[in-house]
Amino acid sequence: MTTSIDRKALDRAKGLIVTVGGAMRNASASLASATALEEFNARYDAALVEESFPDVSATLNDAFSYIAESWEDIRDNEVRLYEVFLFVREYRKFAETVDAFDDVVNSCGFAPDIFSDVTVGNEYYLLTSKYEQLLQPVLSAAEGRYGKTAEDKHDGIAHALHSYIHLANDLVLNDIIAGQCALERKLLWTGPLNEATIFGQYFGLSCKWMNDCFEFRGKDKRLRRLNYSHNRLNYDVKEYPIYNILVKYYPKE
């Protein structure tokens, strides 16, 4: 039998990885800009990421121990399985953030000035990698009841759009597309603004929602607000590269 104290391990771990994942994304974005203000922000976020590693490791161990030890009860209980499914969904988002964060720390020459230990990204990466095998029975059982998750259906869209959107992951993009995402920090749109119009209109997103989710900059690097009427297309939509990407991952029925 599972107990309420066991189940609380999922909530503790989920809350912590949401916080640390946000700090990782903030630090990565700050390292990319490297202005004086961004350097200050990066130091704050980097300290949070480094100091939190022991707690993240401990809470994830507790959460996955609960799943492993209680799996026989969980898989046959609709409520318990859905709780675990939601935790795993958040965990996969965190694992993608860790992967991108590790790449940034390893490639940015500014990182040694910000982190006291530049192996921290790799430590998080090794931590998240060790649980992959345990996720498979959870996902297999959950898919039969709830259908495939967005990240399974559209796996790879963030990589396909990497030249348009900086440091995104599949889960975050799918949440934005579904109109459900609450971002700690806006994603940076690095592609042409008229192709941002294509992205927004393809999914029926309001211009306000696009501006809530993305930071846009003009050719002069100054902040801009996207405007569908102003940032309109010069050619047929099918001639723009982003359209072919969107059709591939989200084919129109």
Tens-digit pLDDT profile for residues 87-126? 888 888 888 888 888 888 887 776 777 788 878 888 998 9
The C-alpha atoms of residue 160 and residue 158 are separated, in whole angstroms, by: 5
Rounded to 10 deg, the angle between the 120-129 and 78-107 helix axes is 150
Tens-digit pLDDT profile for residues 1-57? 444 446 788 889 989 998 999 888 888 777 766 555 455 567 888 888 999 999 999
Q: Determine the average pLDDT of the residues in 54-61.
A: 93
Global pTM exceeds 0.85:
no
H or E segment to which residue 246 belongs = helix 241-249
Q: Which amino acid is at 160?
A: A
Predicted local confidence at residue 184, as pLDDT? 67
